[in-house]
Amino acid sequence: METKRLTCINCPLGCALTVEMEEGNILYIKGNSCKRGAVYAQKEVTNPVRTVTTTVAVKDGALPVVSVKTREPIPKEKIFDCIQELKRVRPAAPIHIGDVILADAAGTGVDVVATKQVLAP
Amino acid sequence: MYDIIIIGAGVSGAAAARELSRYQAKICVLEKEEDVCCGTSKANSAIVHAGYDAAAGSLKAKLNVRGNELMGRLSEELDFPFQRIGSLVLCFQEADLPKLQALYQRGIENGVPKLRILDREETLRLEPNLSEDTFASLYAPTAGIVCPFELNLALAENAYANGTKFQFHTEVQSIERLEKGYLLHTSRGELRTRYVVNAAGLYGDEIHNMVSQKKLKLTARRGEYCLLDKTAGTHVRRTIFPLPDKMGKGILVTPTVHGNLLLGPTAVNTEDKEGVNTTLEGLALVSERAARSVKNLPVRQVITSFAGLRAHEEGDDFIIEEVSDAKGFFDCIGIESPGIASCPAIGERVAALLQKEMDLKKKDHFISARKGRLNPNALSFAERNALIRKQPAYGNIICRCEMISEGEILEAVRRPLGAKSLDGVKRRTRSGMGRCQGGFCSPKVMEILAREQQTGLQEITKSGGSSKLLAGTNKDAF
Amino acid sequence: MKNYDIVIIGGGPAGLAAAISARESKIESILILERDRELGGILNQCIHNGFGLHTFQEELTGPEYADRFICQVEEKNIAYKLNTIVLDITSEKVITAMNREEGLFQTQAKAVILAMGCRERPRGALNIPGYRPAGIYSAGTAQRLVNMEGCLPGREVVILGSGDIGLIMARRLTLEGAKVQAVAELMPYSGGLKRNIVQCLNDYDIPLKLSHTVIDIQGKKRVEGVTLAAVDAQGKPIPGTEEHYACDTLLLSVGLIPENELSRGMGVELNSVTSGPKVDESLETSLEGVFACGNVLHVHDLVDFVSAESAAAGRNAAAYVKGELPGRASVKKLFLRHGEGVRYTVPETICPERMDEELTVRFRVSRVYQSCYISAYFDHERIRHKKRQIMAPGEMEDIKLTKEELLKYPDRKQITIMIEEG
């Protein structure tokens, strides 16, 4: 049996959640004040995902970097793999919002896209 | 081979350089930091004291009164901000009145003009925000305030314009006596000179001890200050002192020439000559003592706090003389308060000593005036527009709090002895000195510096040396 | 001198939303003055996501959220000037501004909308003792350097202040290669969203030290370390709790202050709690025809609320220009009082005859409240009693009042908003 402790993020109450698990299955969830807490806990212990937002250096742009995001949230444990891959890409201006900067980031199947326009100088 | 090397580019060194640059001599000023005004001259009360504090007959008393007298004309000649706003020393009880009277008497002996003792009503009429406990005051209308950095820079720029060389990042490590003159071993090589002026501030004792058997010791005495926003700048109109004690003139409250309100300093001896840190106790003491003199102090308006170090010598007086066992080597040390006030007279005295010793001849074409940097705010609407048409950088505001344009920053960087760092720009232009304390403008000033120095942002420093502002670029660690 | 119906000071989220709604209210002559090189204001450096859930029902990053508004400004052909600083505004609404191309110039407006945003509190405001070396940044300055310049201000970082900007920067610096050692918070609770505590700190094992502050900064040229100490209930450091952190950077995220130098200069009355202008139901300041919205009025928690508030300011300014907003002197004025647990309200006064059918009153609570009620009293009658599971000072609260109910009792004078126990 495994116990995971989480803080619910749905509201400022920040309920301290306890999830009891066995072989990847949830036995029970404690500490939530509402249904949203249980849904959050379930997702967080089985498949926690995050949207990654960061910057990528731009070649020949009016700005030195462009801000980017993963189009969808990616598994939490892939965050730093995604960052590593982004270190190696260097798109050239002009870049528009929504342009794919890195396809299939860290094997997640999710693209990293630009969130800002960067024109040539 | 130089005729004269001046060690230290603080106000004393710069004032000596300026006065000596009137004569035909090859002069160089050595400074261990990246800029002028990096030590004691930088962080102090910026008061041009009237001259009643120092003991009658002392060098401090003499040079303070003379310096105060010279400051008005000097500020016009060299174009730096100086305002003769007057000062008040407060006394809170009748029992202390004799102390106030003693101060008055000393002032008269020292030759301070226009001193008066005011009763409670007269005092409060001048300054309605003074403490309700005010009993009487000593009013010195000749006291003033100055921008110590501009004063220092103006003296140095004028010396430079008259042929004086300045070498920064040059620390004197040892001094050898030659048959005629001295050999200085510095962090940037060896330099020979016939005469030396030791204006090394807190390190004046170490420099002195390199050539003399009569050892001296300077003690660093820390003073902490709080600077309030301009909205508090007119809370008092004059410099307000409590009665002095043995550690100094006490914690004052004064407007600054830039319209802020300054509180401080504390006075605590420290072993560390670079120990310009502020402390919890010190800052608390500043607020508490300042509030004894002035009521309803808007202490929530503090925008920054800082500490400076005074170079205190045991004899409690300035030492400006030829070292008795080192011919041609002149000390100009122990310059603590009233050093700023005295500096025009200090320069005069150093120059007179060397002129006599070296039999220096005046130059034919001494440039006595120096023009300060252009201040667009002083221009009319039409003049400012003409300026921006010619130089659009003056239409681009970089510091929003103090409304400093790119043009002003460029001038500060490009002038002789120009700014090399963020602090250098800040001290010259006030960019970053306002209420946001550089939050908005520092990245932009860093960009300008990088462009002007043709280097990367990574190389830009706060104050020279190892004070780099950035550690690297995004993701370079991965 | 050029004339405009409405001149908007600031092209950030507040100014943009105000401009768009003024144009939708059929005002042709609008000018936005923006001091930065692009529209969008501080959103341009807020590259994290979480913006727009209320406005667009989707999660956007700051630049994307800004872009939605900028596109509308472009489509509607609303005039704006970039790199243009406003130096002065007179009470007669003559605006003096400056840029590289036009130099100094003046503009006469019929109505002015103040939308200058806010700035960060500097270190001095906290009087943190120690040295003043390189490596001390406000969180927003660091955010600009990292997110817009691609520069890393430091490698080993301690952050003071756990408001959202501090938390977001802890994650941003981590993802760009710095090690964030701790986030210290003077208060016993964080001012930031729970989501940011979990996703910016917990995800990266960054400790949050509540009831702690920085009591010393070491390093003469560059930061070499800081000392943290626990504080007592009065916020005073407790001797013996000092902990030293070796680091090269200290980030300060210690609060925001509305930027009201121009407002003060033109004679607008300010509220001492919000540091923003005092406004009425129309977001009109003490000066007729001068409106305020967004963070210059009071610091918001979510940009969506800035947009909503600013749209109202734009509409009201348009009504003023068209002569459709009744003069304040001619109508009745109610006072809005902030009672127990409520730090301030925006607006502070209400003229029911000038208000829309429904008015959102925004406020902040003074401490954390659990299972309490937001109540509104119209003189002595309680007209609202809304249960809230939790309320915290870091989050803005609101309550809606209707024109109908306020007009029902012409004799009543005052509305009080307060927090009541269950």
Measured in angstroms, the CA of C147 and the nearest CA of chain A are apart by 6
Residue C255 burial class via C-beta count within 10 angstroms: exposed 0-12, middle 13-18, buried 19 and up: middle
Based on the domain organization, do B268 and B381 belong to the same domain?
no
pLDDT surpasses 90 at A11: no
d(CA C105, CA C86): 10
| pTM score, whole prediction | 0.93
Looking at residue A19, its amino acid is: V
Which chains have 3+ CB pairs within 8 A of B? Answer: A, C
Which chains have 3+ CB pairs within 8 A of A? Answer: B, C
With H, G, I as helix, E, B as strand and everything else as coil, classify residue B209: helix
- Show the low-confidence residues of chain C (pLDDT under 50): none
Both tokens assigned to B207 = 């420099």
Of B381, B466, B475, the CB nearest to C104: B381
d(CA C289, CA A56): 45
Task: Evaluate whether residue B41 is within a structural domain.
Answer: no
Looking at residue A99, its amino acid is: D
Answer positive or negative: Cα dihedral of C87, C92, C93, C99. negative
In chain A, residues with a C-beta closer than 8 Å to the C-beta of B446 are none
d(CA C57, CA C62): 15
Nearest alpha-carbon partner for C198 in A40, A36, A78:
A40
Cβ neighbors of A79 (< 8 A, separation 6 or more) are A50, A52, C175, C203
d(CA A54, CA A66): 9
In Å, what is the CA distance from B405 to each residue of B184, C78, C85, C118? 42, 28, 10, 21
Looking at the DSSP assignment, which residues form a beta bridge with residue B404?
Answer: B399
Residue C193: predicted pLDDT: 87
Whether residue B229 contacts residue B304, with contact meaning beta carbons closer than 8 Å, is answered with: no
Whether residue B424 contacts residue B448, with contact meaning beta carbons closer than 8 Å, is answered with: no
Q: Do A52 and C175 touch (CB under 8 A)?
A: yes
DSSP 8-state symbol, B233 = T
Q: What are phi and psi of B5, to 5 degrees?
A: -115, 130
Both tokens assigned to B381 = 């609407």
Domain boundaries in chain A?
2-46, 53-114
Q: Do C59 and A51 touch (CB under 8 A)?
A: yes
DSSP 8-state symbol, C302 = -
d(CA C166, CA C254): 8
d(CA B70, CA B60): 15
Fold classification of A53-114 (topology level): CPE0013-like fold (3.10.530)
Based on the domain organization, do B270 and B410 belong to the same domain?
no
d(CA B252, CA C270): 31
Residue A118: predicted pLDDT: 96
d(CA C161, CA C122): 12
Best A87, A101, A112 residue to mutate vs chain B (most B CBs within 10 Å)? A87
**Extended strands (E) in B87-243:** 87-91, 116-119, 136-140, 144-146, 165-167, 172-177, 182-186, 189-198, 218-228, 239-241
Based on the domain organization, do B137 and B244 belong to the same domain?
yes
Whether residue A25 contacts residue A40, with contact meaning beta carbons closer than 8 Å, is answered with: no
Other CB atoms within 10 A of residue B116 CB = 11
Of A11, A67, A97, the CB nearest to C47: A67
d(CA B338, CA B239): 14
Task: Evaluate whether residue B130 is within a structural domain.
Answer: yes
Catalytic residue ranges of B: 49
Whether residue C143 contacts residue C36, with contact meaning beta carbons closer than 8 Å, is answered with: no
Cβ neighbors of B212 (< 8 A, separation 6 or more) are B323, B324, B325, B326, B329
Alpha helix (H) residue ranges in C288-387 = 303-321
Both tokens assigned to B355 = 């002129």
Same fold, C1-119+256-325 and C122-254: yes
Residue-by-residue DSSP string for B319-354 = EEEE-TTSTTEEEEE---TTHHHHHHHHHHHHHHHH
Both tokens assigned to B56 = 């009658």
Whether residue C391 contacts residue C376, with contact meaning beta carbons closer than 8 Å, is answered with: no
Domain boundaries in chain C?
1-119+256-325, 122-254, 329-422
> Which domain covers residue B403, as residue numbers?
377-459
Based on the domain organization, do B101 and B235 belong to the same domain?
yes
Q: Do B478 and A65 touch (CB under 8 A)?
A: no
In chain A, residues with a C-beta closer than 8 Å to the C-beta of B474 are 54-55, 57, 65
Measured in angstroms, the CA of A85 and the nearest CA of chain B are apart by 10
Size of interface B-C (CB pairs under 8 A): 148
Of B274, B279, B403, the CB nearest to C87: B403
Number of domains in chain B: 2
pLDDT in tens, chain B (478 residues): 999 999 999 999 999 999 999 999 999 999 999 999 999 999 999 999 999 999 999 999 999 999 999 999 999 999 999 999 999 999 999 999 999 999 999 999 999 999 999 999 999 999 999 999 999 999 999 999 999 999 999 999 999 999 999 999 999 999 999 999 999 999 999 999 999 999 999 999 999 999 999 999 999 999 999 999 998 999 999 999 999 988 788 999 999 999 999 999 999 999 999 999 999 999 999 999 999 999 999 988 888 999 999 999 999 999 999 999 999 999 999 999 999 999 999 999 999 999 999 999 999 999 999 999 999 999 999 999 999 999 999 999 999 989 999 999 999 999 999 999 999 999 999 999 888 889 999 999 999 999 999 999 999 999 999 999 999 999 999 9
Looking at the DSSP assignment, which residues form a beta bridge with residue B405?
Answer: B397
Cβ neighbors of C403 (< 8 A, separation 6 or more) are C352, C355, C356, C357, C358, C359
Q: Do A87 and B478 touch (CB under 8 A)?
A: yes
Could you tell me which chain C residue has the CA closest to the CA of A12? C194
Based on the domain organization, do B102 and B229 belong to the same domain?
yes
Both tokens assigned to B243 = 């009665």
Of C61, C149, C197, the CB nearest to A53: C61
d(CA B452, CA B420): 9
Whether residue C403 contacts residue C357, with contact meaning beta carbons closer than 8 Å, is answered with: yes
Residue-by-residue DSSP string for chain A = -EEEEEE--SSTT--EEEEEEETTEEEEEES-SSHHHHHHHHHHHH--EE--EEEEE-BS-SSSEEEEEESS-EEGGGHHHHHHHHHH--PBSPB-TT-EEESSGGGSSPPEEE-S-B---
Task: Evaluate whether residue B350 is within a structural domain.
Answer: no
Q: What is the CATH number of the domain that holds B389?
A: 1.10.10.1100
Q: What is the CATH number of the domain that holds B277?
A: 3.30.9.10
DSSP 8-state symbol, C41 = G
Which chains have 3+ CB pairs within 8 A of C? Answer: A, B
Measured in angstroms, the CA of B390 and the nearest CA of chain A are apart by 24
Residue C371: predicted pLDDT: 92
Fold classification of C122-254 (topology level): FAD/NAD(P)-binding domain (3.50.50)
Residue B57: predicted pLDDT: 95
CATH number for the region C1-119+256-325 comes to 3.50.50.60
Q: Do B478 and A83 touch (CB under 8 A)?
A: yes
